[in-house]
Every structure is written in C-alpha cells, then in structure tokens.
C-alpha cells in the first residue's frame, strides 16, 4: 500500500512529478524512500507538496537520494539543521544584487540555464530547494530535461555534439557569460560581492565534460550548461564558438521547460546529472531567498583541464 502519491507535475511534459504524502510519518519508511529514489531517477525533478517546510525536512528529503555535502561557504546556521548537514543560502536582496534587463524590464536574481558546479570535474548528484522568501511576482525556478533536449535537437546537431566535450570556466557568469544569452538581454549592474567572486576565479582551473552522456537506464542526456561554458574542448576558435552558440540557441528553441512558481510548504529535488535549471528574476527592489541542500555524488565523466593539452 503506497503512502505517497506521485503524479505528473504538469500535463504534457515528459519529465517532472508532484509528490504528495511526504511527512515525518512517511519519510523514514524504507518503501517510501525506495519509491522516491525511483521517482527521482525516472522524473528528474520532484515537487514535494504540503510538506513540513523546515530545514530538517529539507535535509531528510535530500538524504533519501544520497549523502549530503557540507558547504564550507555561505553556510546557514548549523543549529537549524543539527549536525547532519549545512545548507547553501541563495539570497538576493536589494542592497547587493546583479541586475539585468530583458526586453526592457530590469530583473534581479536572474540566473540563466545551467547545471550546478559544471566548472568542477566532479558533478554532484542533485539539489534540494526550499523557498524562505519569494518576491510577490517573478522568481520562478525553471527546469529543463537533458533527455528531452537530446531528443529535440536536430539529428545533425546531435551527431556533432555526441563527439564533443565542453570546457567550463567558473568565472564566466553574469556579464562574463559567453553563450546562450537571449536577444534583448543587457547587463545593468554586477553586485560588489559577485565581482569579488568572479575575480577570485581569475586563473582558476577549468573543467571538461562531455556534451552528451548516457544514463545507466540507457537514455542519452544533452548536458550542456551555457552559463560558465568557455567553448568546445580543442576548438576554442570563432568557428567552434559559433557552433556552441548555435547549439545553445537550438536548446532554448526546442526545450520544454517547467516553470516552478513557489508556493508555501514545498520542497523541490532535482537531478543535477540530467536537468538544467534557471531562475527567471524579479523586481530589483524585492528580495528572494532559497536554501539548497546538496546531494553528493559524481557521474565520473568530467575531468580537470590539462593546461596546454586541450
């Protein structure tokens, strides 16, 4: 007898599920945990509704999918979650934020399509998000599926990128992003703290990941993050850059995205080996605060760039 319910998150989407019935009475049950693990593998993003919206529950849900990463920086009070984990705070507030303009509208907290930590050789399994503060408008989290994208792009593009690796550079964020920016996009302001982060990445090692990889379940995943992409490995030329840009634009034209508008009492888990995500942005006079628990792991296909050899 199933204690939780799993339903499509949105009609017509090939990924994503809404999960009901996750509570302190069910979450430690071995069958429930196994069901959640299968749903995570199958659907890529799980929206747990009507949950106890606390950091303890966030950590408990994350622990279903793997061991948790301890964040060395930007830690939220450990007392809040006990000794088991730390959460990353993703907080945009009017005093210190990046502002862009899209089609004439200023937006703070906009983060373009990416998968997390692409700039590192190891990519962690996933993230589990909880909203602590949402602006009255905007601030949605978008999710797109690399399995859907692989099937949606043209056969020629698929064939080309199956053979290619992508180089990622941690500094290529915000006004330094090179690929996949939409038309009508302009940078208005980079926050002092972001400028410091960008500068700290100056000369940092880059990572290399395949553009396409195959899950153990057999599906191929187009796993390219426009954010922080430096170019095609071995072909960082104007011709290679044009090819990667063409892929990024084709991805945005063919993706079927799910836009999560945050409600009370939700916790959202995503598979970082498969999904891309983004944040739409909001009115720069407002704040947005999300906490992320990070699930450890690695798919084993990334590597650090060997300088001079790529």
- The contact pattern for Fe ion, residues 63-102, with x = CB under 5 A and - = no contact, is ----------------------------------------
Cα 127 from chain centroid (whole Å): 8
For residue 254, how many other CB atoms are within 10 A of its CB?
16
Binders of Fe ion among residues 49 to 68 (CB under 5 A) are: none
Specify the residue, 67 or 142, whose C-beta has the smaller distance to Fe ion: 142
Q: What's the sign of the alpha-carbon dihedral 246, 197, 85, 291?
A: negative
User: How many whole angstroms separate alpha carbon 83 and alpha carbon 193?
Assistant: 28
Contact between 283 and Fe ion (CB under 5 A)?
no
DSSP state of 95: T
Quote the least distance from Cβ 115 to Fe ion, whole Å: 7
Quote the least distance from Cβ 310 to Fe ion, whole Å: 25
Q: Closest CB to Fe ion belongs to which residue?
A: 116
Specify the residue, 55 or 272, whose C-beta has the smaller distance to Fe ion: 272
What b-and-e string marks burial along 116-141, b requiring 16 or more CB atoms within 10 Å of the CB? bbbbbbebbbbbbbbbbebbeebbbb
Quote the least distance from Cβ 277 to Fe ion, whole Å: 6
Specify the residue, 21 or 302, whose C-beta has the smaller distance to Fe ion: 302
Contact between 305 and Fe ion (CB under 5 A)?
no
Specify the residue, 21 or 127, whose C-beta has the smaller distance to Fe ion: 127
Quote the least distance from Cβ 92 to Fe ion, whole Å: 13
- The contact pattern for Fe ion, residues 109-138, with x = CB under 5 A and - = no contact, is -------x----------------------
Quote the least distance from Cβ 114 to Fe ion, whole Å: 6
For residue 252, how many other CB atoms are within 10 A of its CB?
16
Q: Minimal CA–CA distance to 49: which of 17, 83, 85, 97?
A: 17
Specify the residue, 161 or 227, whose C-beta has the smaller distance to Fe ion: 227
Quote the least distance from Cβ 96 to Fe ion, whole Å: 19
Q: Tell me how many degrees the CA angle 134-182-185 measures, rounded to the nearest 5.
A: 70
Specify the residue, 116 or 165, whose C-beta has the smaller distance to Fe ion: 116
- The residues facing 19 across adjacent strands are 6, 48
User: How many whole angstroms separate alpha carbon 229 and alpha carbon 223?
Assistant: 11
Specify the residue, 157 or 278, whose C-beta has the smaller distance to Fe ion: 278
Quote the least distance from Cβ 272 to Fe ion, whole Å: 8
H-run or E-run covering 42: helix 30-43
Q: Minimal CA–CA distance to 296: which of 128, 130, 171?
A: 128
Q: Which residues contact 297 (CB under 8 A, 6 or more apart)?
A: 66, 67, 124, 125, 126, 273
Q: How many residues bind Fe ion (CB under 5 A)?
A: 1
Contact between 266 and Fe ion (CB under 5 A)?
no
Binders of Fe ion among residues 4 to 23 (CB under 5 A) are: none
Applying CB under 5 A, the residues found at the interface with Fe ion are: 116
């Amino acid at each position: 007898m199933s204690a939780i319910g799993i339903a499509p998150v949105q009609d017509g989407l090939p990924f994503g599920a809404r999960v009901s019935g996750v509570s302190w009475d069910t979450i430690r049950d071995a069958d429930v945990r196994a069901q959640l693990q299968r749903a995570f593998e199958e659907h890529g993003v799980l929206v747990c509704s009507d949950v106890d919206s606390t950091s303890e529950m966030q950590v408990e849900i994350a622990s279903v999918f793997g061991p948790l990463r301890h964040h060395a920086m930007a830690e939220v009070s450990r007392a809040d979650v006990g000794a088991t984990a730390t959460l990353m705070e993703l907080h945009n507030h009017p005093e210190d934020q990046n502002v862009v303009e899209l089609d004439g509208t200023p937006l703070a907290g906009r983060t373009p399509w990416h998968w997390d930590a692409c700039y590192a050789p190891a990519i962690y399994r996933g993230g589990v998000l909880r909203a602590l503060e949402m602006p009255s408008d905007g601030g949605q989290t978008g999710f797109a599926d690399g399995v859907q994208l692989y099937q949606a792009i043209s056969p020629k593009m698929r064939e080309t990128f199956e053979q290619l690796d992508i180089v990622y550079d941690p500094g290529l964020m915000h006004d330094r992003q090179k690929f996949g920016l939409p038309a009508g996009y302009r940078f208005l302001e980079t926050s002092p703290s972001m400028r410091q982060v960008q500068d700290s990445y100056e000369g940092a090692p880059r990572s290399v990941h395949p553009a396409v990889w195959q899950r153990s379940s057999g599906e191929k995943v187009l796993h390219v993050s426009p954010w922080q992409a430096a170019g095609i490995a071995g072909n960082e030329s104007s011709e290679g850059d044009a090819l990667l840009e063409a892929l990024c634009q084709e991805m945005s034209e063919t993706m079927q995205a799910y836009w999560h508008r945050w409600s009370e009492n939700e916790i959202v888990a995503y598979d970082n080996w498969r999904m891309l995500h983004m944040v739409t942005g909001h009115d720069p006079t407002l704040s947005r605060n999300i906490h992320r628990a990070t699930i450890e792991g690695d798919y084993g296909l990334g590597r650090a760039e060997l300088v001079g050899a790529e």
